[in-house]
């Protein structure tokens, strides 16, 4: 029981000393956090452009499909998964690039496009991100139109219904300057605190009687004062 209590006391003392060590270096913590905040601000403001997103919807259940037939509904659900692949595949995107004379190649445009199927629906949602909100809308609409035509021609199926054209509220979808500044401040503070904590933990210098007890495991029975004049 005594050994357990002693161990707990040592841990509590170490945590207290660690906190004291951090407080002693508060200036370094603050400077590190401020520098990292400035870097985060500069990176977002000067190097990262605002990105806008436009969304369009296609519906797989067409007029020729009977909504009373469970087989037709199941077929529509299965086709939706196939259409997801086709909509973002190279033939569709390369046709979009050609129609709109886009400067991107297939790989670059593919990174801007996300195609998804909301759970338990036969909707295909097409999302396009671009630095220009109007350009994102044009690309989104063109992908929807080309995908529907491609499906009808190459897969011998009724084309999905174009439910909603591209839309964007004009608000950037990526994180803003405030987020990057705060994230930089937090990262700088944590990194500086981590360095100080590691230096404290791995510091084996013995400067006080308590250090002898904690680091060496020996009890100090007595101590002699040092006369500074004699030492000189």
pTM recorded for the entire structure:
0.68
- Helix ranges, the chain (H): 2-24, 26-42, 70-87, 90-100, 106-112, 133-154, 177-201, 209-211, 228-231
Task: Write phi, then psi, for 130 (nearest 5 degrees).
Answer: -155, 160
% of residues, the chain, pLDDT over 70: 74
Task: Select the more confidently predicted residue: 188 or 199.
Answer: 188
- Tell me yes or no: is domain 52-167 CATH 3.30.720.110: no
User: In Å, how far are 33, 64, 98, 183 from 186, measured between CA atoms?
Assistant: 6, 57, 45, 5
DSSP state of 125: E
* Tens digits of residue pLDDT in 8-36: 444 444 677 788 888 999 999 999 999 99
d(CA 159, CA 181): 47
Residue extents of the structural domains in the chain: 2-47+176-231, 52-167
* Tens digits of residue pLDDT in 26-79: 999 999 999 999 999 999 999 999 999 999 999 886 555 555 554 555 555 677
């Amino acid at each position: 029981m005594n050994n357990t209590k002693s161990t707990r006391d040592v841990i509590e003392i170490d945590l207290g000393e660690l906190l004291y060590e951090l407080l002693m270096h508060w200036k370094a913590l603050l400077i590190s956090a401020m520098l990292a905040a400035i870097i985060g601000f500069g990176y977002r403001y000067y190097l990262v452009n605002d990105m806008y997103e436009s969304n369009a919807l296609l519906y797989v259940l067409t007029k020729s499909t009977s909504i009373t037939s469970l087989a037709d509904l199941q077929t529509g659900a299965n086709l939706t998964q196939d259409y997801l692949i086709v909509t973002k595949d190279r033939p569709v995107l390369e046709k979009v690039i050609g129609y709109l004379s886009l400067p991107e190649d297939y790989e670059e445009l593919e990174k801007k496009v996300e195609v998804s199927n909301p759970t338990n629906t036969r909707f295909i949602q097409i999302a396009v991100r671009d630095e220009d909100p109007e350009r994102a809308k044009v690309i989104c609409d063109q992908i929807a139109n080309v995908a529907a035509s491609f499906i009808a021609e190459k897969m011998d199926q009724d084309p999905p219904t174009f439910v909603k054209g591209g839309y964007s509220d004009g608000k950037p979808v990526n994180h803003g300057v405030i987020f990057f500044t705060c994230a930089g401040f937090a990262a700088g503070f944590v990194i500086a605190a981590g360095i100080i904590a590691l230096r404290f933990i791995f510091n084996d210098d013995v400067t006080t009687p308590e250090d002898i007890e904690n680091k060496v495991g020996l009890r100090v029975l007595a101590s002699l004062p040092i006369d500074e004049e004699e030492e000189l």
